[in-house]
A and B are shown apart, each in its own frame.
Chain A
Amino acid sequence: MTELDLSKKVADRYLKREKLGEGTYGVVYKAIDTKTGQVVAIKKIRIGKQKEGVNFTALREIKLLKELKDPNIIELIDAFPHKGNLHLVFEFMETDLEAVIRDRNIFLSPADIKSYLQMTLKGLAVCHKKWVLHRDMKPNNLLIGPNGHLKLADFGLARIFGSPERRFTPQVFAPWYRAPELLFGAKQYGPAVDVWAAGCIFAELLLRRPFLQGSSDIDQLGKIFAAFGTPTSSQWPDLVCLPDYVEYQYVPAPLLRSLFPMASDDALDLLSKMFTYDPKSRISVQQALEHRYFTSAPLPTNPEKLPRPVPKRESVNPRVSEISSREGPTVLSPPRKSRRVMPEREGTEGSAYQSDKYGDHGNDKLGPEDTGGRSDQAPMSLDFSIFAARPPNRPTINSADRTHLKRKLDLEFQHPD
């Protein structure tokens, strides 16, 4: 009752509800679109104090999302200024793929994994077809809507990659999803970087934990080499030309099968093609979608039937299984999650599902917090002892420091060419 009284109509159209979270560039509210009756998420973009107008990251997101309309990409429904702040209206999403992967109550069948991967790749294919690199692919940025549809979100790092000679910053993606060419400092790169990250997400779906959890750029390369062997010049001829190339001690590749004992042959074949070292020979998103993995049995699960986390409070009508009662197993999540503002759940039916997703913009973007939270967590279901055999920890690279990175990114904007 009171909530309805308190809710204000914004821009003559939206009934503002509870706060969903807070990110680096603004607060996110849940709202009802009175024009369509749809539940939406409104991102209020804070205008920076540096007198630089509309936030650059927000502008990127607006620019690209207006071009990318697709069932597997988050929809930017509307944008409007209100009291001097720009507001972005997105479709409301229940949860994200990270929550699905972390939820120990959820069993993901091979068909479920196939479905989630297929939706991820379909969204990515649309981006690449329109010459857009996402550059921040990770489970946390893959949102899941009320009907089970997975959608790519957070285009704050995305770019158009039109001309081949353009140079970009290699400091993109959360470290665990960074392709080897980026770790070696490549400034000219293409859609293959998104494919590598999608491969990491595929692996994460299979393993139910992040696949390559490096603690620094160098350690990340160590993890990659431990899994796939040190790349040879025949595998990757351009490797030695990359800016930050250093010679690594040769490590042989273990059998991929030994890392993913439960995966089918088709899954392993696709996985190995997504993890091809040489970006020029790495499979493209379109080729990946045409891979026999997606046409062989079992066929991808219908999105509506995919398992999703059960909303915590209102488990009156649990969707997934009865096991997830309140005393259910603890979901191990990164510490940053605890800082998120959770929706107040009094009353309204729409708030049954929490979506804290929008809250964490930038907090986790390339940030070191990720690593701290997850790396020591995962109970390993598989034998990862090979990773323990790697050389002792090398000094941590500071490039994982977010403020430093942001400065680097900003610099790039000032010197365009």
Chain B
Amino acid sequence: MAANFWTSTHYKQLLDPEEVDVVQPADKEKGITVEDFKLIKMHMATYIWRLAPQVKVRQRVVATAITYMRRVYTRKSMSEYDPRLVAPTCLYLASKAEESTVQAKLLVFYSKKIPSDEKYRFDIKDILEMEMKILEALNYYLVVFHPYRSLAQFLQDAGQSDLTQFTWGLVNDTYKMDLILIHPPHLIALACIYIASVFKDRDTTAWFEELRVDMNVVKNISMEILDFYENHRMITEERISAAFNKLALKP
């Protein structure tokens, strides 16, 4: 873990789970439940993962973009900030903030190539307008830390570098949840290593003990991730479109 996380705005902005799972009043009026809310965010996170390789950005940019999107919805409603526009705009803003700019026109071009309905089609103008609104919603805090770097360091330290690919995938999947808004990234990395070592029968107990981190927190995060995988099986296209349909209702 980079030594500066504890003095970063990311650390200061970490939220309690109760603060994250709040459906904005405007969305609530349309009948959006916490489940719908999570579902839409998860769906849009997946959308960003799919859009990103087309415009050739690093994984870090994707992770930052999803974090931005999730932060936006802790403050703004989906009724006012259309998720289908917020998602590509967050990718656009994250590409700039992470120093690998993607042109807006490229993003617009490729978003049209991804098979999805016409509600996902936007113009450059829409993205640029939304960029400003997102910046404001983020309160201009743009630096985000991710579990990836500490993951690599931890695995090496634990002598489990062969688990890299597996744990890396787990970390990627955590962005389908709100963990990055709630926990320090290195604890998310540890939770993924914990899951991997349980799953692959590695004895890492002694190593974890020596770390002097709160193992209860790590275990809780791990449980959350496992719960997510469990629930993920029940998610169907129908449930997602039902949630979006509610959002489309006139209040």
Across the interface, do A63 and B97 meet the contact criterion of CB distance under 8 Å?
yes
Known A54-B132, A162-B149: A130·B105 in contact at CB below 8 Å: no
Looking across the interface, which residue of chain B has its beta carbon closest to that of A80?
B136
Across the interface, do A416 and B100 meet the contact criterion of CB distance under 8 Å?
yes
Across the interface, do B140 and A131 meet the contact criterion of CB distance under 8 Å?
no
B131 close to A (CB within 8 Å): yes
Q: Which residues of chain B come closer than 8 Å to A76, judged between CB atoms?
A: 140
B2 close to A (CB within 8 Å): yes
Across the interface, do B135 and A86 meet the contact criterion of CB distance under 8 Å?
yes
Interchain residue pairs A-B with the least CB separation, the first 4: A416-B100, A63-B142, A413-B101, A53-B128
Q: Which of B57, B92, B97 contacts A416 (CB 8 A)?
A: B57
A374 close to B (CB within 8 Å): no
Across the interface, do B100 and A413 meet the contact criterion of CB distance under 8 Å?
yes
A81 close to B (CB within 8 Å): yes
B196 close to A (CB within 8 Å): no
Interface size class of B (residues with CB under 8 A): 20 to 34
* 8 A Cβ contacts from A186-200 to B: none
Across the interface, do A66 and B96 meet the contact criterion of CB distance under 8 Å?
no
Q: Which of B3, B9, B100 contacts A67 (CB 8 A)?
A: B9
Across the interface, do B58 and A52 meet the contact criterion of CB distance under 8 Å?
no
A66 to B144, CA, bound (A): 12
A332 close to B (CB within 8 Å): no
Q: Which residues of chain B come closer than 8 Å to A66, judged between CB atoms?
A: 9, 140-143
Across the interface, do A129 and B4 meet the contact criterion of CB distance under 8 Å?
yes
* 8 A Cβ contacts from A37-69 to B: 47, 51-54, 56, 59, 62-64, 66-67
Which of B98, B104, B142 has the most A CB atoms < 10 Å from its CB? B142
B161 close to A (CB within 8 Å): no
Q: Which of A59, A84, A130, A162 contacts B97 (CB 8 A)?
A: A59
A129 to B4, CA, bound (A): 7
Across the interface, do B140 and A53 meet the contact criterion of CB distance under 8 Å?
no
Across the interface, do B99 and A67 meet the contact criterion of CB distance under 8 Å?
no
Would you give the shortest CB distance from A411 to chain B, in whole angstroms?
11
Across the interface, do B100 and A81 meet the contact criterion of CB distance under 8 Å?
no
Across the interface, do A62 and B99 meet the contact criterion of CB distance under 8 Å?
no
Across the interface, do A62 and B140 meet the contact criterion of CB distance under 8 Å?
yes
A379 to B206, CA, bound (A): 69
Q: Which residues of chain B come closer than 8 Å to A338, judged between CB atoms?
A: none
Looking across the interface, which residue of chain A has its beta carbon closest to that of B105?
A51
A296 close to B (CB within 8 Å): no
Which of A52, A162, A417 has the most B CB atoms < 10 Å from its CB? A52
Interface size, chain A (Cβ < 8 Å): 29
Looking across the interface, which residue of chain A has its beta carbon closest to that of B143?
A67
Across the interface, do A160 and B143 meet the contact criterion of CB distance under 8 Å?
yes
A296 to B36, CA, bound (A): 66
B127 close to A (CB within 8 Å): yes
Q: Which residues of chain A come closer than 8 Å to B133, judged between CB atoms?
A: 81
A79 close to B (CB within 8 Å): yes
Would you give the shortest CB distance from A83 to chain B, in whole angstroms?
11
Across the interface, do A159 and B4 meet the contact criterion of CB distance under 8 Å?
no
Q: Which residues of chain A come closer than 8 Å to B124, judged between CB atoms?
A: 51
Q: Which residues of chain B come closer than 8 Å to A67, judged between CB atoms?
A: 8-9, 143
Q: List 17 interface pairs A-B (beta carbons < 8 Å), by A numbering.
A: A51-B124, A52-B101, A53-B131, A54-B93, A54-B96, A63-B97, A67-B143, A76-B140, A81-B136, A84-B132, A129-B7, A160-B143, A413-B101, A414-B100, A414-B101, A416-B58, A417-B58
| Binary contact readout A103-120 vs B (1 if CB under 8 angstroms, 0 otherwise) | 000000000000000000
Would you give the shortest CB distance from A386 to chain B, in whole angstroms?
41
Which chain B residues have a beta carbon within 8 Å of chain A's beta carbons? 2-4, 7-9, 57-58, 92-93, 96-101, 103-105, 124, 127-128, 131-133, 135-136, 140-143, 149
A339 to B142, CA, bound (A): 34
Across the interface, do A79 and B100 meet the contact criterion of CB distance under 8 Å?
no
Q: Which of B97, B104, B131, B140 contacts A79 (CB 8 A)?
A: B140
A159 to B135, CA, bound (A): 19
A160 to B149, CA, bound (A): 14
A163 close to B (CB within 8 Å): yes
Which of B2, B105, B140, B142 has the most A CB atoms < 10 Å from its CB? B140
Q: Which of A52, A79, A84, A131 contacts B4 (CB 8 A)?
A: A131
Looking across the interface, which residue of chain B has its beta carbon closest to that of A129?
B4
Across the interface, do B127 and A416 meet the contact criterion of CB distance under 8 Å?
no
Looking across the interface, which residue of chain B has its beta carbon closest to that of A160?
B143
Would you give the shortest CB distance from A133 to chain B, in whole angstroms?
12
Across the interface, do A53 and B127 meet the contact criterion of CB distance under 8 Å?
yes
Q: Which residues of chain B come closer than 8 Å to A416, judged between CB atoms?
A: 57-58, 98-100
Would you give the shortest CB distance from A148 to chain B, in whole angstroms?
26
Across the interface, do A56 and B96 meet the contact criterion of CB distance under 8 Å?
yes
A1 to B12, CA, bound (A): 45
Known A86-B132, A131-B2, A413-B99: A53·B142 in contact at CB below 8 Å: no
A159 to B98, CA, bound (A): 10
Known A52-B103, A80-B136, A81-B132: A63·B2 in contact at CB below 8 Å: no
A59 to B135, CA, bound (A): 10
Across the interface, do A54 and B142 meet the contact criterion of CB distance under 8 Å?
no
Which of B101, B127, B133 has the most A CB atoms < 10 Å from its CB? B101
Q: Which residues of chain A come closer than 8 Å to B58, judged between CB atoms?
A: 416-417
A293 to B200, CA, bound (A): 57
A250 to B99, CA, bound (A): 40
Across the interface, do A162 and B92 meet the contact criterion of CB distance under 8 Å?
no
Across the interface, do A62 and B142 meet the contact criterion of CB distance under 8 Å?
yes
Q: Which residues of chain A come closer than 8 Å to B104, judged between CB atoms?
A: 51-53
